[in-house]
Amino acid sequence: GAVVSQHPSRVICKSGTSVKIECRSLDFQATTMFWYRQFPKQSLMLMATSNEGSKATYEQGVEKDKFLINHASLTLSTLTVTSAHPEDSSFYICSANNGGLNNEQFFGPGTRLTVL
């Protein structure tokens, strides 16, 4: 149980285009979803916390108009990278929290974004 999927697994796009990444909890309802970014050989950095039906909470330094997050249901959150530039190229990972006692987060397999 507790499977989280992401789609697409990798995407290559031209500079200036927008890219949408989906994060789904497959067998549980996620009260909260989180979006992380990971640059090569670095750790995960939290970008934003997404709660169903409300606006996302962004971490300091993350542009909310650049990284649009929509959490329309308890099983789906989307991250849209708007007007992508080469410096946005990164590995984007989502996680979902089922609200359990231990706050265990279940991670998706990640999306590799390359902006040309």
Identify the burial level of 87 via C-beta atoms within 10 angstroms of its C-beta, where 0-12 means exposed, 13-18 middle and 19 or more buried.
exposed
Q: For the CB of residue 43, give the shortest distance to other proteins in the complex, in Å.
A: 5
Nearer to other proteins, 78 or 110 (CB): 110
Q: List residues binding other proteins (CB under 8 A).
A: 6, 32, 34, 41-46, 49, 57, 91, 93, 95, 97, 102-110, 112
Shortest distance, position 16 Cβ to other proteins, whole Å: 26
- Identity of the residue, 49 or 82, whose beta carbon is nearer to other proteins in the bound complex: 49
Shortest CB 111 distance to other proteins, Å: 10
Which of 16, 55 has the CB closer to other proteins?
55
Residue whose structure tokens are 């409300």: 54
